[in-house]
Structure 1
């Protein structure tokens, strides 16, 4: 659905909004719409340890302009703070104050990225734990202070160093327009698994894309976020099999014809759904995207068994069954990656959505509990939790509720289906296999909506 207010405050009402102090969201730089003038701006790398210089060298090798010190009057594409050597809260002061001094030089839709050791209170001294946890609070707070479409996110190193392949992939994702609606979030890299991708490889499409040569199954692919996921995976080189209910057969066929994919009409809650998926594949599964989901909203006092059971069956029980059956039959390929759609409702809860929130929280639990099994096959399983995304579902919300939901995020606007699809494509790439069992919010740093 079009956000008319966003168009107006970037057009005829721009000065009026500024004068009245109204929200002034900007059009975000997304993949394919980021101007060259932005991409040519330098990246400022801050940090006192050897890791900072190593990262600066890596960025230079990938064709980025790099600064180790801010230069007066120069606009920056991004600020990267390497804090992996911080041992006490006092160690943070020099770097975070440099970030603050450089923030006014950040271009519209710029990026702040912190890289630090993951909090681990059981294996860190109290001082170290205070430091690593403190960095997460700092990053989230900076994200709330960003303006003009800029974001702040973090990469957490859990038992790995900066050379882990997924650190590079996470950095390319967070620096690019693919993460336009991700802010105040953390990507935890917990293993050296995965393929090291250059920036050019990560940003390529088609036969040169990061998913080239792999087959992806996408459930609920006929419309909305599911269609965007299918299109994005195909853009990045995957062969896509789109799955949806027979009632959505025509819409599904249109999407698959557009991307050169294959349609599969079935009910994912049926006992034979895994068998039909593997028959359509003719082999093992490289990428599986559990996107299919339904809502049957009702206050719990008015909830009946049909509304509760149908949501649980589609949104979580079907995923559990399909994953278990494919694993039992050895039909996950080596290095297979699964990404499931959760929701911010499953994290924060939502009034009138006890069934939906239960199912989406279940997705998060399933993801975390399955990580070890997927790692044993050289793969990974993760979840993406959208917030307020402009879809047919959110278009049905009351007008005032919809406007409030849009403006409450740090980016002061709703996300687009492409934003969710970009996160899923990233987590499906071979470069992201070191990220496992995690849930990434795509919500513009907000908890509103399903």
Structure 2
């Protein structure tokens, strides 16, 4: 848990009488936890194709639309929306559903991809984007709202992993996001059913994962989470972080590889290690990153070059080596850690923001090439995450970073890790070339 004194104090009714708003304690995932902690509403507008699939995923959690009791989730299949009248039907479902949404509730819409050949349909589809981003700022008590835009040729099971992620406590700090689901790349995957608890609890079982920058912070959380979900993890970090790296590897039963990813032979050494120990890579997480902050007017070449070398050049080099070789499996998943700074910019971080924006450009450009091999590549962009680094910020700066989002608090490293774990699943093959923000719907870059 974070050391968020204001959030903790706001749980006290006496403090709230002084005018301090309650900052919600978010429901986060723990093994064995049910998908939802209460009933769910499921509806459809028009000729939606996914309502039955969602009902199958939820099974006994669904309840009738009528009633006044609280619900843990409201899911609307709006993939059939084509007209403004259909949008009116969306409102008819959502208005009472929002009123009934309980603490840490989930509002999830599935919408159609805009059809440029039909102006009315394209307008209605895009309208869902604005609707969801707005309602995400209206729901309270730790609830979230997100939109899945589904390609018309995507099979019904293509959305399963995303639906499960966004309804679960794994997505606690992912809010106001729009994720596009296309036709899955690579070999067809059997959908994970709710009657297969081992697969739901350990969706990465049997997969080999590589995580850079794994000695501490977000990288360590990613290694922990991937291992918890069943993956065999190769934890990578610089030799100077060897002690912390060893602790992480020992804790998760993985392997530690001390490697400076900016060295001229880094790709060769990394691939050789993977080949000798595991024979393949199913998951590659580019998490290693540094900051060397300075106003651009005072930015020297060393600060600029160091940040670009670690945060971007190393990823480009390793990805090219992976594409040139044969280590990537036919359901490989590459996940790159970007930042909201790369989307919105940040004062004093021109080098860092440039590197993270570059990561996003790399992801979008590599997605088609990797798709030809059945692999995907995506970026996760954290916002304000409670880490050792943010803990050293001046109080005013730290408090501002925590509160300028819809959930009114900072995220935790595990929030980033859970999102990485979802994108790393073989079943997430319909999601590629995208950026998912883990920022509580920060107002920066929204």
5 Å-filtered alignment, 1:244-263, equals 244-263=237-256
Query: How far, CA to CA, are the matches of 1:59 and 1:51 in structure 2?
Result: 13
Contact 1:34 1:177 (8 Å CA) reproduced: no
Alignment-derived partner of residue 72 in structure 2 = 77
| 3-state SS in 2 of match to 1:221 | coil
Instruction: Find the aligned partners of 2:142 and 2:223 in 1 and give their Cα distance.
Output: 26
2:159 and 2:31 map into 1 onto residues whose CA distance is: 25
Q: Secondary structure at the match of 2:137?
A: helix
CA deviation after TM superposition for structure 1 residue 205, in Å = 7.1
From the superposition, tell whether residues 6 and 34 of structure 1 become closer, same or farther in structure 2 (CA, over 3 Å): farther
Structure 1, gaps ≥5 residues long: none
Counterpart Cα distance in 1 of 2:405 and 2:13: 20
CA contact (8 A) 1:111 1:150 kept: yes
Residue 202 of structure 1: how far off its partner (Å): 8.6
Q: Is 1:225 matched with 2:183?
A: no
Partner Cα separation in structure 2 for residue 295 and residue 199 of structure 1: 42
2:184 touches 2:428 (CA, 8 Å); kept in 1? no
Post-superposition CA distance 1:177-234 (Å, at most 9, x none): 000000000121011345243354897579x611111110000000000000000000
Aligned pair in 2 of structure 1 residues 58, 301: CA closer, same or farther (>3 Å)?
A: closer
**CA drift at 1:69:** 1.5
User: Is 1:87 the equivalent of 2:86?
Assistant: no
**Residue of structure 1 equivalent to 2:181:** 189
1:38-437 paired onto structure 2 within 5 Å: 39-51=36-48, 55-56=51-52, 58-60=54-56, 62-71=58-67, 73-119=68-114, 123-161=116-154, 163-193=155-185, 195-200=189-194, 204=198, 209-281=202-274, 282=276, 283-437=279-433
- Specify whether residues 381 and 342 from structure 1 end up closer, same or farther in structure 2 by C-alpha distance, changes over 3 A only: same
Paired residues of 1:89 and 1:134 also in contact (CA < 8 A): no
For 1:356 and 1:57, the matched residues in 2 are separated by 42
How far did residue 61 of structure 1 move?
5.5
Equivalent runs, 1:436-447 vs 2, <5 Å? 436-447=432-443
Alignment CA distance shift 1:40-1:63 (3 Å): farther
Further displaced range: 188-197 or 264-273:
188-197
Q: TM-score by structure 1 length?
A: 0.93
> Kindly tell me: are residues 167 and 274 of structure 1, through their superposed partners in 2, closer, same or farther at Cα, counting changes over 3 Å?
same
For residues 432 and 348 of structure 1, what CA distance do their matches in structure 2 show? 27
Secondary structure in 2 matching 1:191: coil
3-state secondary structure, aligned to 1:116: strand
Shift in Å, 1:364: 0.4
Structure 2 unaligned runs (5+)? none
Partner of 2:27: 29
* 1:202 to 1:160, Cα distance in 2 relative to 1, 3 A: farther
For the Cα contact (< 8 Å) 1:296–1:307, is it kept in 2? yes
Gap change, CA 1:363 and 1:61, over 3 Å in 2:
closer
Task: For 1:55 and 1:125, locate their aligned partners in 2 and report how far apart those are by CA, in whole Å.
Answer: 24
Q: Deviations over 1:344-394 (max 9, x none)?
A: 000011111000000000000000000011111111000000000000121
* SS, match of residue 48 in structure 2: helix
How many Å separate the matches in 1 of 2:307 and 2:119? 43
2:20 & 2:306 partners in 1: Cα distance? 42
Instruction: Give the direction of change, closer, same or farther, for the CA distance of 1:68–1:187 in structure 2 (3 Å limit).
Output: farther
Kindly indicate whether the alpha-carbon contact (under 8 Å) linking 2:45 and 2:76 is maintained by their aligned counterparts in 1: no
Q: TM-score, normalised by structure 2?
A: 0.93
- Name the count of aligned residue pairs: 439
Is the contact made by 1:374 and 1:381 (CA closer than 8 Å) also made in structure 2? Answer: yes
Which residue in 2 is equivalent to 1:16?
15
Q: CA deviation at 1:85?
A: 1.1
